[in-house]
Chain A
Amino acid sequence: MKILLIEDDREAASYLIQALDEAGHITHHASDGETGYAMASGMDYEVLIVDRMLPRRDGLSIIESLRAEGDKTPVLILSALGEVDDRVTGLRAGGDDYLTKPYAFTELLARIEVLARRSSPAEAATNYSVGGLSLDRLSRKVERDGEAILLQPREFRLLEYLMKHAGKVVTRTMLLENVWDYHFDPQTNVIDVHMSRLRSKIDKGHDTPLLHTVRGAGYMIRE
C-alpha cells in the first residue's frame, strides 16, 4: 500500500516509516503542511496519515482543501488533542478516522488497513461470508454451514463489523468505537468477554475456528 505520512516530528516519522515498511507498505514523508499538501495532491496515495498540528499549514486545512478538490483518499488524523469535540472537528473537516497520540503502532496499522479497504468498491455489500459463515445484513440472519446462529443485537453488530473487515486486524478500541460508539479505553477486558461469547456461538463445535485473537493487537475473522 502506498502511504503518505505528513508529520513534523522526525523521530516519530522515521519510526513509523520503518514499522510501516516492515508491515509491507511504501511510505512517503512530508515534514510540513505545504509540502504535504503538494505531495498529496500531486501523487496518488491509498491512505494519508496527517498530523493535526503542522508547521506552515495545519492538518485540518490540508484535508479540507483536498476534499474541496474532490480527492477522496482516506485520511487518518493523528493528534495530541483527544477530546470528543476535537475528534468531531477532525472528522467534520473530512478525516475518516482519528487517532490520539500516544498510540500503539498496531492500532495505527489496523486502522489504516481498514481505511484503505474502505475506499475499495465492495463497501456496501448486503451479504458477508467467510468460510462457511454467512451474515445477511438485511434479514439479519447468521448461518454457519447452513445452520442458523442466534445472536443478540450487539453480537450481530460485532460480527458484522468483523466480517466487513474480514482478513484485517480489528483492535478493541475500534470495536468499542464502531460497535458501541464510545471513545474511551475500558480499563478491564470488557471487549474480550464479549468476543469470547461471540466466539462460543460461531466457532463452538466446528473444527476450524474463524474468529482469531491477534496477540497484542486485537481480533480478526478469516478462513
Chain B
Amino acid sequence: MSRFAQVWRTSTVRLTATFIAIFVVFAILLMAFIGWQSSVQIQRQQADDIDSEVRLFQRIEATQGIRALAFALNRLSGQPGPGVYFLGDASGQYLLGNMTDVPPDVLIDPGVYSFDYDRPDPLGEDVGNLPDRRKRSGVAVVRSVELANGMRLVVGRDVVERRGYSAIILQSFLVGVVGIILFSVVAGGVTARRVLKRIDTIRDTSTKIMSGNLSERVPITKRNDEFDGLARNLNAMLDRIEQLLQGLKEVTDNVAHDLKTPLTRLRNQAEGALRDTASPQTRERALETVIEESDKLIQTFNALLMIARVEAGAPSGALTEIEISPIVADVAELYTPVAEDEGIEVSTDIAEGVLLRANRELIGQAMVNLLENAMKYAKPEDGSTGRISIGLEKIDANVVITVADNGPGIPEADRIRVLERFVRLEKSRSEQGSGLGLALVNAVARLHGGRFRIEDNSPGVRAVLELPQ
C-alpha cells in the first residue's frame, strides 16, 4: 500500500493517470455520438422504406385489385429479412402475412406504432398455426393503414436487427475502451517506471554526496535526453563546488601559514620588549616593529577580504560604464617616479577614450598590483636596465591591459599557479609581499567577465588582463 501511495505521489504517474481518464472519457463520448447518429439514420431509413412499401401496396390494390396485393404480400412475407406484414379484414381478423398477433389498437387507429410481437421463423410454412418453439419474440416498428375496401394493412420492420447493430457498436465500444485503458496503464506505467528510475539514480547520487563523498557524479547515459542534460549540469555544478572547496582548503592552509608567521613575530617582539633586561631603546624599536608587523597583517587581511568579496560578486553593486584610459594612465603616472628612482624605465602606450563596464577602484587596484609586481622583478639577470611597459589597447571587443617587464620571468609550469592565493615562487620568497597581488588581479578579471594570464615576454613577464567591453 505504501509502495502504491509512493508511486501515486510521483508526478509522472499522476499525469499519466489523468491523461488516461481524459482519453477514455473522450473515447466514450465519441463512440456514443457515432452510435446515436447511426441509429437515428437507420430509423429514418426504415420509416422511409415502410412508407414507400405502404404506398406501393395501396397502388397495387387500387390498380390490380386485392388479389394482386395478397399475392405480393405473401411473397414478401415469405422472404427472409426484417420485413413484417399483416393483412386483416375490416374487423382486424388475420388474413395473411408473417405477423399474426397485432394489438387491436394498432388496427383501429391508422398510424405509426412500435410493439412486441412473436416472430415466426421466416422459413416456416403454414404461418397461421406455428408451434411456439418456431416463433421468436421481436419488436416491430409498423405503419398501419386502412385500405379502400376497409381491410387493414400493417407494414413494418423488425427492429431486433437494428438492436443487433447497436449491440455490435456497444460491444466494440467496450472492447475499445478496455483496450485503451489497458494500453495506457501499461504505457504510463512503463514511462513512469523509467522516469522514476532515472530520478532515483540522481537522488541516490545526491544522497551519497550529502553524506560527504563529493567525488560522486550522476551517471550519464548514451541517450542524451533531458535527464542527461540535467545530469551534466549537476555534474558541472558539483565540479565547481569541489573546486571551490578545494580552493577554500588551500586558502585555509595558507592563511594558517601566512598569518601565523607574522603573528608569531609580533608576539616575539612584544615579549622581547617586556623582558626585564631590555633597554628603553630596544623596547622602542620592538614596539615600532610590532606596529609595522600589525600594519602588514592588516594589509594582508584587507587583501584577503577584498579577494573574497570580489570573488563572491561585485563589491560595489553593478559595474558602470567608465573611461578606463585615465585609470591606467593615473596609476602609471603614480608609479613612474618610484620606478625611475629605482633605475627602471617605464614606457606607456595607452589608447585614448577606451570605455569599459568596470569598477574604477578595482581596476585601479589591479593596475597597482601589476605594477608593484613588475617593479619587484624588473631587474634583468644580466644587469642591464630594467624596463616596464604599460599598454592599453582595444582588440576586437576586448580591452587589453598589459604590464610587461624584462626580469627573469616565470617558468611556464608556474604561470597558472602564481595566480592562486599566497603562492609565491621560491625566488621571490625573500621579497616583501603577501602573495595575494596576482590573485586579486585574477579575481578582478573574473568579476569583469574577463581573463588574466601570464605570458612570456622573453625575457620577463607579460601580464595580460583581457576584459570584454
**Which A residues contact B (CB, under 8 angstroms)?**
82-85, 88, 102, 104, 154, 180, 182-190, 193-194, 197
Q: Are B334 and A180 in contact (CB under 8 A)?
A: yes
**Could you say which residues of chain A place their CB within 8 Å of the CB of B298?**
102
Chain B, residue nearest A83 (CB): B315
Chain B interface main SS type: helix
Q: Which residue of A82, A88, A182, A189 is within 8 Å of B302 (Cβ)?
A: A82
Q: Are B316 and A184 in contact (CB under 8 A)?
A: no
Chain B, residue nearest A102 (CB): B298
Q: A184-B361, A185-B299 are in contact. Are A190 and B330 (CB under 8 A)?
A: no
Q: List 19 A-B contacts (CB under 8 A).
A: A83-B315, A88-B316, A102-B294, A154-B333, A182-B361, A183-B361, A184-B364, A185-B299, A185-B302, A186-B334, A186-B372, A187-B299, A188-B372, A189-B338, A190-B335, A190-B337, A193-B338, A194-B337, A197-B337
Query: Would you call B289 an interface residue if the criterion is a C-beta within 8 Å of the partner chain's C-beta atoms?
Result: no
Q: Are A85 and B317 in contact (CB under 8 A)?
A: yes
Q: Are B330 and A180 in contact (CB under 8 A)?
A: yes
> In the docked arrangement, what's the CA distance between A190 and B317, Å?
30
**Could you say which residues of chain A place their CB within 8 Å of the CB of B433?**
187
Q: Which residue of B302, B316, B338 is within 8 Å of A84 (Cβ)?
A: B316
> In the docked arrangement, what's the CA distance between A193 and B340, Å?
10
> Per-position contact with A for B198-212: 1 when CB-CB < 8 Å, else 0?
000000000000000
Interface size class of B (residues with CB under 8 A): 20 to 34
Query: Would you call B309 an interface residue if the criterion is a C-beta within 8 Å of the partner chain's C-beta atoms?
Result: yes
Query: Would you call B251 an interface residue if the criterion is a C-beta within 8 Å of the partner chain's C-beta atoms?
Result: no
> In the docked arrangement, what's the CA distance between A197 and B306, Å?
32
Chain A, residue nearest B317 (CB): A85
Query: Would you call B140 an interface residue if the criterion is a C-beta within 8 Å of the partner chain's C-beta atoms?
Result: no
Q: Are A182 and B309 in contact (CB under 8 A)?
A: no
> In the docked arrangement, what's the CA distance between A188 and B375, Å?
10
Q: A182-B330, A190-B335, A190-B337 are in contact. List 10 more A-B contacts (CB 8 A).
A: A83-B315, A88-B316, A104-B291, A182-B368, A184-B361, A184-B368, A187-B299, A187-B433, A188-B338, A193-B337
Chain B, residue nearest A189 (CB): B338
Chain A, residue nearest B375 (CB): A188
Chain A, residue nearest B314 (CB): A85
Query: Would you call B365 an interface residue if the criterion is a C-beta within 8 Å of the partner chain's C-beta atoms?
Result: yes
**Which B residues contact A (CB, under 8 angstroms)?**
291, 294-295, 298-299, 302, 305-306, 309, 315-317, 330, 333-335, 337-338, 341, 359, 361, 364-365, 368, 372, 375, 432-433
**Could you say which residues of chain B place their CB within 8 Å of the CB of A84?**
315-316, 359, 361
**Could you say which residues of chain A place their CB within 8 Å of the CB of B335?**
190
- Expressed in whole angstroms, the minimum distance between the Cβ of A190 and any Cβ of chain B is 5
**Could you say which residues of chain B place their CB within 8 Å of the CB of A184?**
361, 364-365, 368
> In the docked arrangement, what's the CA distance between A142 and B317, Å?
42
Q: Are A190 and B338 in contact (CB under 8 A)?
A: yes
Instruction: Name, among A85, A88, A183, A187, the residue most crowded by chain B CB atoms within 10 Å (CB to CB).
Output: A187
> In the docked arrangement, what's the CA distance between A83 and B308, Å?
12
> In the docked arrangement, what's the CA distance between A154 and B361, Å?
19
Chain A, residue nearest B338 (CB): A193
Q: A184-B365, A188-B372 are in contact. Are A85 and B338 (CB under 8 A)?
A: no
- Expressed in whole angstroms, the minimum distance between the Cβ of A169 and any Cβ of chain B is 17
> In the docked arrangement, what's the CA distance between A85 and B432, Å?
29
- Expressed in whole angstroms, the minimum distance between the Cβ of A194 and any Cβ of chain B is 6
> In the docked arrangement, what's the CA distance between A190 and B368, Å?
11
**Could you say which residues of chain A place their CB within 8 Å of the CB of B334?**
180, 186, 190, 194
- Expressed in whole angstroms, the minimum distance between the Cβ of A25 and any Cβ of chain B is 22
> In the docked arrangement, what's the CA distance between A189 and B334, Å?
11
**Could you say which residues of chain B place their CB within 8 Å of the CB of A88?**
316
> In the docked arrangement, what's the CA distance between A183 and B365, Å?
9
> In the docked arrangement, what's the CA distance between A104 and B294, Å?
11
**Could you say which residues of chain B place their CB within 8 Å of the CB of A188?**
338, 372, 375
**Could you say which residues of chain A place their CB within 8 Å of the CB of B291?**
104
> In the docked arrangement, what's the CA distance between A189 and B338, Å?
8
**Could you say which residues of chain B place their CB within 8 Å of the CB of A190?**
334-335, 337-338
- Expressed in whole angstroms, the minimum distance between the Cβ of A198 and any Cβ of chain B is 10
Chain A, residue nearest B340 (CB): A193
Q: Are A85 and B315 in contact (CB under 8 A)?
A: yes
Q: Are B372 and A187 in contact (CB under 8 A)?
A: yes
Chain B, residue nearest A183 (CB): B361
**Could you say which residues of chain B place their CB within 8 Å of the CB of A185?**
299, 302
> In the docked arrangement, what's the CA distance between A104 and B372, Å?
24
The 7 lowest CB-CB distance pairs between A and B, nearest first, are: A85-B316, A193-B337, A84-B361, A193-B338, A83-B315, A84-B316, A190-B338
